[in-house]
Structure 1
Amino acid sequence: MMEPVIRIENIGKKYIISHQTKERNTALREVITNKAKSLVARPQHFREQPKHEDFWALKDVSFEVNKGERIGIIGRNGAGKSTLLKILSRITEPTTGRIIINGSIASLLEVGTGFHPELTGRENIYLNGSILGMNKREIDSKFDEIVSFSEIEKFLDTPVKRYSSGMYVRLAFAVAAHLEPDILIIDEVLAVGDMAFQKKCLGKMEEVSGEGRTVLFVSHNLTAIRTICQRAILLEKGKITHAGNVENVLPHYFGVNYALKEKGFEVHARPLAPSGEWEPGTDVEITVSWEKHKYAPGWHCDLACYTLEGSKIFALESHRFNDFDSSNPECNAVKFTVKNSRFNSNDLRVDIGVKRSPSESYFMLLENCIVLSPGNRNMPSYRRDDVIIVPEATCQAITL
């Protein structure tokens, strides 16, 4: 049986969060006044102590990665993805559990990590090669490939602190991918680069994996995850909720009722075709409901639809519909109906925002809460390069 290159056993990462018991003093007068009061302070045991809270960024995470595998790690912001990669990259230590790694690791995490800002691009290439255990001759043999891939020949002898974020990412990825580490770890940092360079990087990751090296890739670009990765791991609140084949895991990323249910809200979407299936031109109904006895009526809802690559197709706002009125005490839902939904994307994601009035901030914003999977890829899209066309739609405040 093949020995895994990465074995993670029940790791957890705990942080201590401090909570202030009162607001900070912002005026000089208050600072002086409170300082004077403290001279006649109560005994120490009567003073208010700051409150602390244990926060587990990761909890009981276990999985194995075999040589040559391409693993996608997905999850919403704050799920623990970056913490996991930092532990794997040995930037931070786990609080519990253990990790066994067989081989060298090159990581591309946040912009600004991994390079010495005072050194030039050329010097940083050799520095990183040395850290990976390569000698000068080995680095020399890869040098021209790195420079050519990064496309920054002109600035090679400039200190990297003067690079733009895009230039930095170009060089950092080229170094990480070409210096032949056994394990390549890539965070969402690639989003900084332009579209052409992102495609170039994705192709390189496939090539690296074909050479028997392992790739761990974190991204919110689910099209890239689909293209590159064989397996996916879904993190939710620091725990693995689903793992396995990419196509089996991705639908769980778009779980209906995710988080909304915790606050007494629910989101549902369904096609209105007689068959109950997604069909070309099907009307799509999206309903946001809330617990009648928990919240007063009067909610407003916004809806935005995107491709998985992040291109906005359309947005709908309840307050812009003339006949919308959610003030009825019996009202506990907002229903959007998109007419004749001629989408041509494979999958579309929907974001929902809920607020008390059109001018207020969102009481709750749920990204990627549902996914629409149209059946016909050849129907015309609402989106053109020069304009976003709002589809025919209705919005009603209803009682469920």
Structure 2
Amino acid sequence: MPTIEVEQVSKKYTITHKKNGYLTLRDTIAEIAQKPFQKDKAKEDFWALKNISFSVEEGEAVGIIGSNGAGKSTLLKILSQITYPTTGKIILKGKVSSLLEVGTGFNQELTGRENIFLNGAILGMTKKEISAKFDDIVEFAGIEKFLDTPVKHYSSGMYVRLAFAVAAHLETDILLVDEVLAVGDYEFQKKCLEKMCEVRKRGEITILFVSHNLGAIQSLCHKCILLENGNLKNIGEPKIIVREYLNKNFNIAQSLNLRDIPRPEGLGEKIKISNCTLFNQTQQKTQTFLFGEQFSVEIEAIAQSDQYKLSLGLRIETNDGIMITGPLSQDSNVFFECRKDSHLRVRATFQSFILIPGYYWITLSIRQQGTIIDQIVCARNFTVSSGIYGNIKYHSGTWGYVYTSPLWQTV
């Protein structure tokens, strides 16, 4: 029996366009006098969702993917009943807990301790039931020292840790999770995904998960929804839907202005990734490399304030969302700094990392003291062709994803 039913849901927003420049009193009076006789051209309707229909069975985990502006967050807000559909209806069976933007779900004036009990009460739990889960929530969030501090003083990472711990441990039937997890550090993201996998296997909670982490979507979810410009383009097996999404967006990624890409709240506020360029062994800009060819990835960022002890990260994934490698500069004890309004330019060169022919995606991140402060998932993509570089000959289907050449000798 479906726990979630979405029937012909559409959501319309009215966008107001303000006139540029300064208006005199005479202009304002003239505009008011003419208004009854004119259609208001300063406003337009924007449909964030258009006739969306699907259902989710009890205990099922469903991923939602799509480009920025596709309608993913709007859909979760409707299911969380933060906003309501313009047309259509939703049917939710059971208690709903949601983890959306940083700042939603908690009373900013209350402490972490008080917010845990408040959220439990909202879900209809007694004080005794909440107390039984309390220690697990605190241990999972790892914020014992700040438990009696008002959450308005929490960092975005602390806020997300507590918010997820509350959402995942309190008794709920439906868990809605947006891309907000991107704010946390890598270890906590991994911990969250493991927790969701745990409850998914037990079939205790129905999960809707919005993420740009396509590998997580494939490992966690039973099925996947692809949204595009407010429309439901496809729904089905995660691996198939992810491949459809990546194939469609492969060429688009090269023209993206990384600085202007919308970020989840908490990312890009201190320093923002602005560009990414790939170079081949002869230092030419390209998105296509020969099999066996050395390549470099150059990352540019601009700081909103003075920043120190920055660590840059790269994650390379296959077209199916399978992670191949994820080096961090901090692992090599390499850190960077950048002054306010200055540009940071860093180049990472892969000298002996030989990918097999195929399509690949690069995710970029900047960390500070272990916390991700900016990240762009699938920022750029590239192709490794089957052409021969050097003396290595490619043999299809025998090497996995990375070619290695050990020293062979009799002993």
| Residue number in structure 1 paired with 2:268 | none
Q: Give deviations 1:157-204, integer Å, cap 9, x for gaps.
A: 000000000100010000000002101111000011111111110010
**Alpha-carbon distance in structure 1 between the residues aligned to 2:324 and 2:67:** 15
Describe the SS at the equivalent of 1:107.
strand
| 1:247 to partner: Cα distance | 0.7
> 1:93 aligned to 56, 70, 84, which one?
84
> 1:230 aligned to 222, 230, 246, which one?
222
CA contact (8 A) 1:81 1:218 kept: yes
2:68 partner amino acid: N
CA contact (8 A) 1:343 1:377 kept: yes
1:377 partner amino acid: Y
> 2:68 aligned to 59, 74, 77, which one?
77
| 1:255 to partner: Cα distance | 2.8
Q: Name the Cα RMSD after superposition.
A: 3.7
| 1:257 to partner: Cα distance | 6.8
**Alpha-carbon distance in structure 2 between the residues aligned to 1:78 and 1:125:** 32
| Residue number in structure 2 paired with 1:215 | 207
**Alpha-carbon distance in structure 2 between the residues aligned to 1:111 and 1:42:** 40
Q: Give deviations 1:118-153, integer Å, cap 9, x for gaps.
A: 000000000000000100110011001001111111
| 1:19 to partner: Cα distance | 2.4
CA contact (8 A) 2:64 2:210 kept: yes
**Alpha-carbon distance in structure 2 between the residues aligned to 1:229 and 1:242:** 15
1:55 partner amino acid: F
| 1:49 to partner: Cα distance | 4.0
* Unmatched segments (≥5 aa) in structure 2: 256-288, 294-313, 328-351, 364-376, 386-396, 406-411
1:217 partner amino acid: F
| 1:305 to partner: Cα distance | 9.5
**Alpha-carbon distance in structure 1 between the residues aligned to 2:315 and 2:170:** 41
CA contact (8 A) 1:254 1:368 kept: no
Describe the SS at the equivalent of 2:234.
strand
Question: TM-score when scaled to structure 2?
Answer: 0.64
1:92–1:246: structure 2 CA closer, same or farther, 3 Å change rule?
A: same
| Residue number in structure 1 paired with 2:291 | 281
**Alpha-carbon distance in structure 2 between the residues aligned to 1:145 and 1:42:** 60
Describe the SS at the equivalent of 1:190.
helix
**Alpha-carbon distance in structure 1 between the residues aligned to 2:124 and 2:67:** 35
Residue 252 of structure 2 corresponds to residue 240 of structure 1: no
Higher gyration radius (CA): 1
**Alpha-carbon distance in structure 2 between the residues aligned to 1:93 and 1:144:** 35
**Alpha-carbon distance in structure 2 between the residues aligned to 1:220 and 1:247:** 14
CA contact (8 A) 2:211 2:217 kept: yes
| Residue number in structure 2 paired with 1:180 | 171
Matches within 5 A, 1:361-400: 376-379=400-403
Describe the SS at the equivalent of 1:254.
helix
* Unmatched segments (≥5 aa) in structure 1: 26-30, 264-278, 284-303, 314-339, 352-365, 382-400
**Alpha-carbon distance in structure 2 between the residues aligned to 1:58 and 1:259:** 25
**Alpha-carbon distance in structure 2 between the residues aligned to 1:133 and 1:108:** 18
2:170 partner amino acid: L
| 1:378 to partner: Cα distance | 3.0
1:221–1:37: structure 2 CA closer, same or farther, 3 Å change rule?
A: closer
CA contact (8 A) 2:116 2:166 kept: yes
> 1:16 aligned to 14, 19, 24, which one?
14
Q: Aligned pairs, how many?
A: 298
| Residue number in structure 1 paired with 2:280 | none
**Alpha-carbon distance in structure 2 between the residues aligned to 1:108 and 1:96:** 24
